[in-house]
Amino acid sequence: MSTLEILHFPDPRLRQIAEEITVFDEELVSLAHKMLDTMYISKGIGLAAIQVNIKKRLVVIDVSEKRDKPLFLINPIIYEKNNKIESEEGCLSVPGFYDKVERYNNIKYKSSDFDGNIKAYQAEGLLAVCIQHEIDHLNGKLFVDYLSDLKRDRIAKKIQKLSVQGKLPTRKDVPYSI
């Protein structure tokens, strides 16, 4: 297994806007699988390329109980959202912190496959929430941006302090995160 380093909030590289993928080759497939390995090892259910400092519109997701149904979203776009819900979210780039975020329970989205073919899909529940969370990453947005300025600043300071002390929560310390 080959893994990548996950950036942590408030790293400014997490605010970059990912670029559309135009080359569909073995390098893209390899990157997607490295991201998947990184996500699994980190106990995540979703990971955007921007979180590993790669400015490409690529997302990997696996919300299955057995962790055996990975999804690869290339240049994903949500084109319909319905049924607002509030759910607790965490993030591999904001380790150890969770809070309520409002999202949509049902979405329709388009994504390319590894051959560049665009297909339309529907998602609901946790998968829909995860897709919205990861697409936010591709657009330079984190789940903490839905929180108050005070909460976001406190989280940033706490993460910076824990990082300096070498005490950032690890994959062994936290439950699954988006």
Burial class (CB in 10 A: 0-12, 13-18, 19+), 13: middle
> SS3 for 23?
coil
Residue 34, φ and ψ in degrees, nearest 5: -65, -40
Active site residues: 134
Task: Tokens for 23, please give them.
Answer: 């080359």
Burial class (CB in 10 A: 0-12, 13-18, 19+), 62: buried
